[in-house]
Structure 1
Amino acid sequence: MIYQIYPRSFQDSDADGVGDLAGIELRLDYLAGLGIDAIWLSPIYPSPMADFGYDVADFCGIDAMFGDLAGFDRLLAAVHNRGLRLLLDFVPNHSSDQHPWFVESRGSRDNPKRDWYIWRDPAPDGGPPNNWISDFGGSSWEWDETTGQYYLHAFLASQPDLNWRKPELREAMVTVLRFWLDRGVDGFRIDVLWHIIKAEGLPDNPINTHWTPDCTQRDRLVQVYSTDQPEAHAISAEFRALADRYGDRVLIGEICLPNDRHARWYGTPDRLQVHLPFNFQLIENAWDAASLRRMIAAYEASLPAFGWPNWVIGSHDAPRIAARIGETQARVAAMLLLTLRGTPTMYQGDEIGIGEVKISPDRVRDPQDLRQPGLGIGRDRSRTPIPWNASAYAGFSTVEPWLPLNEDWRERNFEIQDRDSNSLLSLYRSLLALRRSHDALAIGDFKLVDAAEDVLAYQRRHAGECLLIALNLSDAMRTLMLPTDTCVEEVLASTLPPSTWALRPLDAALAPNEGLLLRLKEKH
């Protein structure tokens, strides 16, 4: 189980309204008690923070906002002392325009680092070299007056793309990975891995004929030539070979692609790539039993025989799960995430059901939202500070936080839910404990089974144990359908409070918005 921390918003230890490494260390006992296995930190590198750390000015340092390398080493040791792993966010596609490499690169056309970034002459009409659109809106090209060329940026203009076709750049970035692996880091989540290299010649991307004005500017085009190039897989395999030389390390690739292309990022048995190409389909899929069933079946079928699945239900880029589907179904989503086959990843605060957080226009910080207002794509709503208790500023800080808290923080915080055996937090803890105590959940086989309307059901099996998970995605009673010649031996968990199901008949129907985790046995 991987737990994503957005460091700016986890815990402030030095009263500046922004979370930091020392704050994370203060909360490690909570994380260990939750039952997770690994922590993934969003970027903590030195940065101008134009994109809140994804514009890296030094790949081998720590931003003073978060601490320093000594503080990082203390955190890493404290994580390991609790039997947990620590993963960093590696950002290989681009740097900050304040990175020394780019400062040199834009210094002159004959600078040795000029080709560490992607520079091109203007088109014949003087405009950008091609039609590519930044993921944050506008052209992907920025004019540099000093050297009379454009440089490429898939995101902000202050995030120039690195040129992975340049061997010296490639070696420099691999050296970055070695720096952190030598320090004891347990792996990396690799940011926008499918963007890492571009097609030779940089041809125009084709027009998206299905684009409508309520979509982002980026989606006007189909990113045929700016992402997911064949050469990127060799780079991914190089990362994997390096990680494998360090032993028990993990690489997670951020890859947003259809199943057939997504599965290629596992590599082949003789040329492995990332361990886990991140699977975001629980975030993107419609929340109904029929479409979830189709999606899960298609994803499982797409995996190579050696590929291990993974599931993500929340992140710093997506609306919170409780905001998307409501609090009662957020409990069902927790059971789904923690009982599917594969490695689950959860996002900080989802375990207490933080929902929609309204960000007033004067508090918006997300550059993506500021550049394309009115589309509802702002990410600030998922990055708000964690409410630890009902004290001033929710125990996150002693001063006004950098983003507003969820409006119900006095009633919805970790301290209150920690004391409530019926809370969503308690449900997460119990499900994580079941994953540890039942190999059928951790490593067992997976099989979708027939179910009533609005119910998603599947079995997990291992070493003679058979578990049935039945999830009612509706607000009405539904029939609990058991596989032929089986009966319920034990109710291991329900998404409803224990007092409502502990004494129920073992073959009872599913209540509205209920998920059940059952141990089955064969009838004699």
Structure 2
Amino acid sequence: MTSVYEINTWPWLAGLGVGSLADVPGAVWDELIGFDAVWLMGVWERSPAGLGIARSNEALQREFHAALPDLSDRDIVGSPYCVRRYEVDQHLGGRDGLAAARSELARRGLKLILDYVPNHVAPDHPAVTEHPDWFINGSPEDLARDPGSWFAAGDRVIARGRDPYFPPWPDVAQLNAFHPDLRAATLSTLRDVAAQCDGVRCDMAMLVFNDIFAGTWGDRAGPRPAEEFWPAIIAELKDELLFIAEAYWDTEWELQQQGFDLCYDKRLYDRLVHGDADAVRGHLRAGLDYQNKLLRFIENHDEPRAATALPGPRGRAAAVALATLPGSTLWHDGQFEGRRVKLPVFLGRFPDEPVDEGLRDFYDRLVVLRDAGQWRLLDTPDVLAWTWEGSATRHLVVINFSQEPIWTRVRLPWPTAGEQWRLTDLLDGRVFDRDGDDLAAGGLVVGLLAWGFHVLETRR
């Protein structure tokens, strides 16, 4: 199990009032002890061309002003997913600044995660003119007919990057995942990235699947390769990097088979935000060989803030589920303090928001929980329930994932008769003493308010 803490690097540094990753105070890094890895999102060199597009795009401007009512031009710094070069942006301290940050994290037992974007680069990335064959190429007629999908680069017409379900992104150039030289260049770039971090989070990793890429680009992509994009690349770097996939469209299992260590669990997110206990329970019936490679979250830079998507007690119930399930967890800077504004990734400053001290105290107690032993889902009606059984402790998690109070009986999966049982709630400290014969006969009687929960520990 890996616990990852995501930081939106540019506005985070601005909030700290420092100009380089090398200048982050040690006390700030100390606050991250207890996680396993820190994802410094958005460290690579941002594109002047992309910045110009962002500053002139009316739809983006409306989004920027909604997040920062006092927006100024200097707050717009460009998208971290419009990468001009895989060099650490000088505004963040360059390669030396990142190395200093990595050293500080390593001293605290924390790994460093960085981004990689396989599908596209900035329109002013050097490869656009130096290696135009690495991109999806079009014709002057394509550009004249649909300038929103194409742009001119020297004597070439290059496709704007896209996924198949949305219009093209206006600020990026579409790489050709089928081109063998592009695949070789990807491996070379990732080798250099591997020298600077411990893992990569691969943006929209499924877009370069042969089936998906061929369905998106057809004959423009050229001959379909016999091999998939990821397996050979990951095999070369498996001993150097942890590979995390941003995954959608039920591609998680296939990404795992292609070599990814962890994949986003977007389905669980959707069920926690929009579903009920039955939907969540059904999702958790998957095999542990699959679940152990999922990265669970209720907030990241792409999703609405949890304080708005999962307000109040429902958000706490969802967080308890997240923290006590098999697999790994992704937490987002600002989530614990109850930030409500989803900051567009183009912006370099957070708005001022009050800290929810009660929520922060809840998360401080929650995120230190660690799985212990074997996980088992309990088929208990009306609630979510599971256990962890280790050599020294047993844990029972019960969550009323509904808006109505509930009483239920939970059948424990381990022998209980003939003993006195003391169950301690790790989140609020309450202690429950129960007779083992009663537990064996009728199970543990549990009463919970709407969105209530217990994380109970008993020692052997």
What band does the TM-score fall into relative to the shorter chain?
Answer: 0.7 to 0.9
Matches within 5 A, 1:55-94: 55-59=82-86, 61-94=87-120
1:447 aligns with 2:377: yes
Distance apart, 1:276 and its partner CA: 0.9
Distance apart, 1:92 and its partner CA: 1.6
Structure 2: any 5+ residue segments left out of the alignment? 55-77, 163-167, 435-444
> Quick one: distance in 2 between partners of 1:503 and 1:466?
15
Show the counterpart of 2:194: 181
1:469 aligns with 2:397: yes
Matches within 5 A, 1:222-371: 234-246=228-240, 249-258=241-250, 261-267=251-257, 272-285=258-271, 286-297=274-285, 300-301=286-287, 304=289, 308-355=293-340, 357=341
Show the counterpart of 2:74: none
Q: Deviations over 1:44-87 (max 9, x none)?
A: 1111254521111111x111221211111110100000111101
SS at match of 2:280: helix
Q: Which AA in structure 2 matches 1:175?
A: S
Which TM-score applies when normalising by structure 1? 0.69
Q: Assess, with a 3 A threshold, how the Cα gap between structure 1 residues 239 and 313 changes in structure 2: closer, same or farther.
A: farther
> Quick one: distance in 1 between partners of 2:352 and 2:268?
25
Distance apart, 1:201 and its partner CA: 9.8
Show the counterpart of 1:171: 184
Q: Contact 1:7 / 1:41 at 8 angstroms: preserved in 2?
A: yes
1:191 aligns with 2:219: no
Q: Assess, with a 3 A threshold, how the Cα gap between structure 1 residues 482 and 195 changes in structure 2: closer, same or farther.
A: same
1:509 aligns with 2:440: no
Q: Which AA in structure 1 matches 2:125?
A: H
Show the counterpart of 2:349: 402
Q: Contact 2:263 / 2:293 at 8 angstroms: preserved in 1?
A: no
Q: Contact 1:8 / 1:20 at 8 angstroms: preserved in 2?
A: no
Q: Assess, with a 3 A threshold, how the Cα gap between structure 1 residues 431 and 192 changes in structure 2: closer, same or farther.
A: same
Show the counterpart of 2:439: none
Q: Which AA in structure 1 matches 2:424?
A: V
Q: Which AA in structure 1 matches 2:9?
A: P
> Quick one: distance in 2 between partners of 1:352 and 1:253?
27
Distance apart, 1:467 and its partner CA: 2.1
Q: Deviations over 1:317-341 (max 9, x none)?
A: 1011221121222221221111001
> Quick one: distance in 2 between partners of 1:343 and 1:456?
19
Q: Contact 1:445 / 1:462 at 8 angstroms: preserved in 2?
A: no
Show the counterpart of 1:380: 343
1:100 aligns with 2:135: no
Q: Contact 2:394 / 2:458 at 8 angstroms: preserved in 1?
A: yes
1:459 aligns with 2:387: yes
Q: Contact 1:251 / 1:274 at 8 angstroms: preserved in 2?
A: yes
Q: Assess, with a 3 A threshold, how the Cα gap between structure 1 residues 24 and 514 changes in structure 2: closer, same or farther.
A: farther
Q: Which AA in structure 2 matches 1:275?
A: D
Q: Contact 2:5 / 2:332 at 8 angstroms: preserved in 1?
A: yes
> Quick one: distance in 2 between partners of 1:330 and 1:430?
15
> Quick one: distance in 1 between partners of 2:235 and 2:432?
52
Q: Contact 1:62 / 1:68 at 8 angstroms: preserved in 2?
A: yes
Measured on the aligned residues, the alpha-carbon RMSD in Å equals: 3.6
Distance apart, 1:226 and its partner CA: 11
Q: Contact 1:312 / 1:345 at 8 angstroms: preserved in 2?
A: yes
Q: Deviations over 1:364-417 (max 9, x none)?
A: xxxxxxxxxxxxxxx537x699xxxxxxxxxxxxxxx734233xx1xx16xxx3
Which TM-score applies when normalising by structure 2? 0.77
Q: Assess, with a 3 A threshold, how the Cα gap between structure 1 residues 384 and 351 changes in structure 2: closer, same or farther.
A: farther
Q: Which AA in structure 1 matches 2:364?
A: R
Q: Assess, with a 3 A threshold, how the Cα gap between structure 1 residues 473 and 73 changes in structure 2: closer, same or farther.
A: same
Q: Contact 2:187 / 2:233 at 8 angstroms: preserved in 1?
A: yes
Q: Contact 1:322 / 1:329 at 8 angstroms: preserved in 2?
A: no
Residue range with higher mean Cα deviation, 71-80 or 458-467: 458-467
- The percent of aligned pairs where both chains have the same amino acid is 21
Q: Contact 2:372 / 2:388 at 8 angstroms: preserved in 1?
A: no
> Quick one: distance in 1 between partners of 2:22 and 2:120?
24
Q: Assess, with a 3 A threshold, how the Cα gap between structure 1 residues 313 and 179 changes in structure 2: closer, same or farther.
A: same
> Quick one: distance in 1 between partners of 2:395 and 2:224?
41
Q: Assess, with a 3 A threshold, how the Cα gap between structure 1 residues 226 and 43 changes in structure 2: closer, same or farther.
A: farther
More strand by share: 2
Q: Which AA in structure 1 matches 2:239?
A: R
Q: Assess, with a 3 A threshold, how the Cα gap between structure 1 residues 475 and 157 changes in structure 2: closer, same or farther.
A: closer
Show the counterpart of 1:493: 426
SS at match of 1:31: coil
Q: Contact 1:491 / 1:518 at 8 angstroms: preserved in 2?
A: yes
Q: Assess, with a 3 A threshold, how the Cα gap between structure 1 residues 225 and 472 changes in structure 2: closer, same or farther.
A: farther
Distance apart, 1:481 and its partner CA: 1.9
Distance apart, 1:508 and its partner CA: 5.0
Distance apart, 1:492 and its partner CA: 3.1
Q: Assess, with a 3 A threshold, how the Cα gap between structure 1 residues 125 and 5 changes in structure 2: closer, same or farther.
A: closer
Show the counterpart of 1:7: 9
Q: Deviations over 1:445-498 (max 9, x none)?
A: 2323213x3x2112223347432211112343211422156485312324xxx3
1:432 aligns with 2:367: yes
Q: Deviations over 1:220-268 (max 9, x none)?
A: xxxx9999x996973221232122233xx3100111022xx4201111x
Aligned residues, how many? 407
Show the counterpart of 2:159: 151
Q: Which AA in structure 1 matches 2:425?
A: L
Show the counterpart of 1:367: none
Q: Contact 1:340 / 1:446 at 8 angstroms: preserved in 2?
A: no
Q: Deviations over 1:301-329 (max 9, x none)?
A: 4x657963331221101011221121222
Q: Contact 1:13 / 1:20 at 8 angstroms: preserved in 2?
A: no
Q: Contact 1:4 / 1:42 at 8 angstroms: preserved in 2?
A: yes
Distance apart, 1:121 and its partner CA: 2.7
Q: Assess, with a 3 A threshold, how the Cα gap between structure 1 residues 234 and 316 changes in structure 2: closer, same or farther.
A: same
Residue range with higher mean Cα deviation, 288-297 or 6-15: 6-15
Q: Assess, with a 3 A threshold, how the Cα gap between structure 1 residues 24 and 450 changes in structure 2: closer, same or farther.
A: farther
Q: Which AA in structure 1 matches 2:337?
A: I
> Quick one: distance in 2 between partners of 1:345 and 1:513?
22
Q: Which AA in structure 2 matches 1:439?
A: A
Q: Deviations over 1:83-115 (max 9, x none)?
A: 1110101112111011111133xxxxxxxx121
More helix by share: 2
Q: Contact 1:8 / 1:19 at 8 angstroms: preserved in 2?
A: no
